[in-house]
Copies of this chain bind each other. A is one copy, B any other.
Amino acid sequence: MPKYISIAKAILRYIQDNELEADDKLPSIQVLAEQFDVNKNTIVSALNDLERQGVIYQVRGSGVYVRGNNRKGYINLLNLNGFNSILSQFNIDSKVIGFELMEANEEIAENLKFDLSREDEEHRVYRVYRIRYIEGRPFCVEESFYAKAIIPYLSEDIASGSIFKYISQDLNIDIGYADHYFRVAQLSQEHAEYLNLKKGDPSFYLESVMHLTNGKPFDFSKIVYHYQEAQFFVQGTNTQMGY
């Protein structure tokens, strides 16, 4: 692991352990460089990483401050698949209600960038259909498709836990980035039953495509959230690049 990442982790731990709140000041870059015995630029990299994740903000000429969110009960949308798993203070549990190895249909192929006209390509996907619970309450219904070409093995047992953890830690596959698309929709009868709601109730509908670090998509997911449990937040940082 690069120095700047482990330093970023250490700073994050420092913030959490000392229960620093929003707008509390961190030591200066110079001091941090001395403490960690690295060059100033390495600290700058670590801080840029933390800034990007919404942990801190930096003010030129002044100092480095804790950004700290946030409202309780809101879930970081960019956190969903294990990304930036800071503050994932929730107990997540899963019940698998469908599991199979199947051929990709058109929708799946498009999102996972399969070329269905090629015979020599692996077009099978693991389909995982599960209800996820947060602190014991039904939270969302998730239908995920994992490219077998990239995820060679998956089982119902694994799917009942954290698939993300299995992929990144056991298979040692590097997850790179994800695209999330979402909108509001109305519940179908089936989804309503799983979520203890009524047909036609509003719902939060999310589609995600996850990619490896080399740009290959390996997971396409469709998730229907319980509208009373699903409260999200996203932290944005300006980039000077507008216009």
A65: contacting residue among B70, B168, B215, CB under 8 A: B215
Min CB gap A66→B, angstroms: 9
Q: Point out the residues of chain B lying under 8 angstroms from A65, CB to CB.
A: 215
Knowing A59-B214, A78-B236, say if A242 contacts B84 (CB, 8 Å).
yes
How many residues belonging to A are interface residues under a CB distance threshold of 8 Å? 64
Complex Cα spacing A239 to B82, Å = 10
Min CB gap A98→B, angstroms: 25
Knowing A49-B241, A83-B236, say if A203 contacts B184 (CB, 8 Å).
yes
Q: In the complex, are the beta carbons of A23 and B175 less than 8 A apart? A: no
Complex Cα spacing A122 to B87, Å = 34
Chain A residues packing against B (C-beta within 8 Å): 1, 5, 8-9, 12, 23, 49, 52-54, 57, 59-60, 62, 65, 67, 69-71, 74, 77-78, 81-86, 168, 175-186, 202-204, 211, 213-215, 225, 227, 230-243
Q: In the complex, are the beta carbons of A238 and B177 less than 8 A apart? A: yes
Q: In the complex, are the beta carbons of B241 and A175 less than 8 A apart? A: no
Complex Cα spacing A235 to B177, Å = 7
